[in-house]
């Protein structure tokens, strides 16, 4: 993440039980690195923050057996949808991305690719005024409804 008030640019790990962020370190040439992780989708690398969701399959497998992977993927879909809702609620934009490079993502977050790996990503960021104009009716609705 970068250009976020109160937070240093770099990579972070979200700790759900504490609802806190753990700083993992700075990333040199962050925009280029993000572009690489997202298969060359450089527009996505301009976002203020890019979420990379991982799964630890065992945490579902011990409980759900052969259904574990179905449950895990439904789960990450819910998380993504909730991020869309949260982003819309504060007036920023998000875009689900599945065309990411597994190995590069896993390397950046020091994941082994077997016990834990990235399954979904979403850049979230400020919407340019020019883009807002294109979708004026939608944003007018959001404003009128006080959303
Ligand atoms: C699981 C999933 C993965 C996606 N992956 C990509 C992607 O890698 N690149 C991309 O440009 N759009 C991707 N999309 C599509 C966008 O997230 C978005 O839904 C699409 O651009 C439609 O947006 P719009 O309705 O605002 O036009 C993906 C959507 C989903 C649900």
The residue whose CA is least distant from atom 25 of ligand 1 is: 95
pTM listed for this prediction: 0.87
Q: How far apart are CA 115 and CA 111, in angstroms?
A: 8
Domain boundary assignment for the chain = 11-144
Spell out the residues 6+ positions from residue 120 whose beta carbon is closer than 8 angstroms to its own.
52, 53, 76, 77, 79, 80, 96, 97, 98
What pLDDT, in 10s, does the model give residues 7-64? 999 999 999 999 999 999 999 999 999 999 999 999 999 999 999 999 999 999 999 9
Q: Which among 36, 46, 75, 96 is the best mutation to test ligand 1's pocket, defined by most ligand atoms within 8 Å of the CB?
A: 96
**Closest C-alpha to 96, from 139, 41, 22:** 41
pLDDT confidence of residue 31: 94
Domain 11-144, CATH number (from 1.10.8.420, 3.30.450.260, 3.40.109.10, 1.10.240.10)? 3.40.109.10
Cβ of 99 closer than 6 Å to ligand 1, yes or no, is yes
Residue 72 near residue 55, CB atoms below 8 Å: yes
| pLDDT per position as a tens digit, 120-133 | 999 999 988 877 77
CB 97 near ligand 1, within 6 Å: yes
Q: Tell me the three state secondary structure of residue 138.
A: helix
Kindly give the distance from the C-alpha atom of residue 38 to the centroid of ligand 1, in angstroms, as a whole number: 12
List, for residues 72-101, the tens digit of each pLDDT value.
999 999 999 999 999 999 999 999 999 999
């Amino acid at each position: 993440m970068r250009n976020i008030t109160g937070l240093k640019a770099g990579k972070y790990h979200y700790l759900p039980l504490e609802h806190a962020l753990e700083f993992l370190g700075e990333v040199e040439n962050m925009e280029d690195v993000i572009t690489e992780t997202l298969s060359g989708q450089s527009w996505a690398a301009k976002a203020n923050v890019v979420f990379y969701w991982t799964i630890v399959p065992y945490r579902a497998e011990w409980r759900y057996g052969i259904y574990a992977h179905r449950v895990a993927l439904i789960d990450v879909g819910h998380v993504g949808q909730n991020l869309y809702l949260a982003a819309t609620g504060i007036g920023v934009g998000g875009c689900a991305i599945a065309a990411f490079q597994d190995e590069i993502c896993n390397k950046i977050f020091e994941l082994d690719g077997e016990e834990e790996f990235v399954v979904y990503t979403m850049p979230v960021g400020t919407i340019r005024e020019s883009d807002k104009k294109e979708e004026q009716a939608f944003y007018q609705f959001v404003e009128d409804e006080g959303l």
